[in-house]
Amino acid sequence: LEEFDTHDPKENNALLPYIRKRSKIIEIVAARDIVFALSQSGVCAAFSRVTNKRICFLNGSPDEVVRSLFYNKNNDSLITVSVYGSENFSALRCKTTRIEYIRRGTPDAGFPLFETESLKWPGFVEFDDVNGKVLTYSAQDSTYKVFDLKNYTLLYSISDKNVQEIKISPGIMLLIYTRTSSSIPLKILNIEDGTVLKFFNHLLHRNKKVDFIEQFNEKLLVKQDGENLQILDVRNFQLTEVSSTEFMTPSAFIFLYELQLFLTFRNRSVAVWNFRGELVTSFEDHLLWHPDCNTNNIYITSDQDLIISYCKADSTDSFSEENVIIVLVPLVS
């Protein structure tokens, strides 16, 4: 068991005052023999699992605040998404650095990505590991762009002010358009080239807020406030409904592609569902520590047979530190 510390008063002297303060770790990424830790203040450090020592900080300038990390296994590199004080922390900037350069302690050998894109709020960048794609959105001209994660080449663009949201699933993208009072236009694209596979209007209950729309392969999940969960097969438009008393709107999802199941997180509880609308498993003894169910505190094994969670311990368990335990539970029996 080793302890790594991203805080170093001597090394951090060059950073802005509030970045120098010690803050909690919000993201941990492992890439081969290196562990990356990102603090809430935006300091990112790399540690060697061989020497158990810090290799370097990835903040390339005193005013750089790193917001998120992504390990690109396609080319063995780390992508950092940052904002800068010189830009009033308003624009996202992406940089890719080969793991071998970081291992040598030379993170400056990386290079910027998507420099032509205007990623000011509410613009964003999303990395899709399943399909090997990057999705960017420029709010300035209402344009979505899809890039290849292997070499960062632009594949195609989508310019449409009526697109409200995009959901990514294996092989496809779901475009969600501005709703009318009684329906919502939906378009399904081939994620490789942007070809339109299907375009249709999904009927809605009037004057009811849409809680969520999610796409999983050929299944579309739609839930409105106080209404039943609808599971629509977009191939034949067969509709399955789950009572609103059985399925209440979760705060987060995790799709289990290998098992054809999905996890829901609500309050501190976890449940497993299939696409026939049946509850497969509910973990009654699996109470998550954080009520917001941040999925960064959840890990699913690559075989998707175990869930590893940061949970509240039984109040009678005197051995757990601060009443917290790490729990490993089979997802399906």
Residues 191, 171 contacting (CB under 8 angstroms):
yes
Average pLDDT of the residues of the chain: 86
Give, in order, the Cα–Cα distances in Å from 197 to each of 47, 135, 171, 172, 263: 45, 19, 11, 9, 27
- 23 within domain boundaries: yes
Q: What predicted TM-score, i.e. pTM, was given to this entire model?
A: 0.83
State how many domains the chain has: 2
- 192 within domain boundaries: no
DSSP assignment, residue 80?
A: E
Phi, psi of 90 (to 5 degrees): -105, -15
DSSP assignment, residue 14?
A: G
In this prediction, residues 22-46 reach a mean pLDDT of 89
Q: Are strands 44-48 and 54-57 parallel, antiparallel or unpaired?
A: antiparallel
In this prediction, residues 25-29 reach a mean pLDDT of 87
Q: Which residue from 198, 203, 247 is spatially nearest to 218, judged by alpha carbons?
A: 198
Length of the chain: 333
Residues 201, 186 contacting (CB under 8 angstroms):
yes
Q: What is the pLDDT of residue 12?
A: 55
How far is residue 208's CA from residue 221's CA, in Å, rounded to a whole number? Answer: 16
- 21 within domain boundaries: yes
- 48 within domain boundaries: yes
How far is residue 267's CA from residue 25's CA, in Å, rounded to a whole number? Answer: 22
Question: Residue 2: is its pLDDT beyond 80?
Answer: no
In this prediction, residues 43-55 reach a mean pLDDT of 92
Among all chains, which residue has been given the structure tokens 């109470």? Answer: 287
Structure tokens at 318: 């005197």
Question: Residue 317: is its pLDDT beyond 60?
Answer: no
Is the preceding omega at residue 62 within 30 degrees of 0, hence cis? Answer: no
Residues 177, 185 contacting (CB under 8 angstroms):
yes
Lowest-confidence segment of 6-10, 117-121, 142-146, 246-250 by average pLDDT: 6-10
- 201 within domain boundaries: no
Among all chains, which residue has been given the structure tokens 């497993």? Answer: 272
Q: Which of 56, 91, 113 is the last residue of a domain?
A: 113
Cα end-to-end span (Å), the chain:
31
Percentage of the chain surpassing pLDDT 70? 83
Q: Which of 62, 80, 113 is the last residue of a domain?
A: 113
- 200 within domain boundaries: no
For the domain that residue 73 is a member of, what is the CATH number?
Answer: 2.40.10.480
How far is residue 91's CA from residue 84's CA, in Å, rounded to a whole number? Answer: 8
Residues 191, 172 contacting (CB under 8 angstroms):
yes
Q: What is the pLDDT of residue 148?
A: 98
Q: What is the pLDDT of residue 16?
A: 55
Q: Which residue from 306, 265, 312, 317 is spatially nearest to 287, judged by alpha carbons?
A: 312
| Residue-range definition of the domain harbouring residue 306 | 252-332
Structure tokens at 129: 């590991």
- 188 within domain boundaries: no
- 220 within domain boundaries: no
How far is residue 85's CA from residue 62's CA, in Å, rounded to a whole number? Answer: 9
Q: What is the pLDDT of residue 265?
A: 85
Q: What is the pLDDT of residue 91?
A: 96
Q: Which of 85, 113, 141 is the last residue of a domain?
A: 113
Phi, psi of 101 (to 5 degrees): -70, -40
Percentage of the chain surpassing pLDDT 90? 62
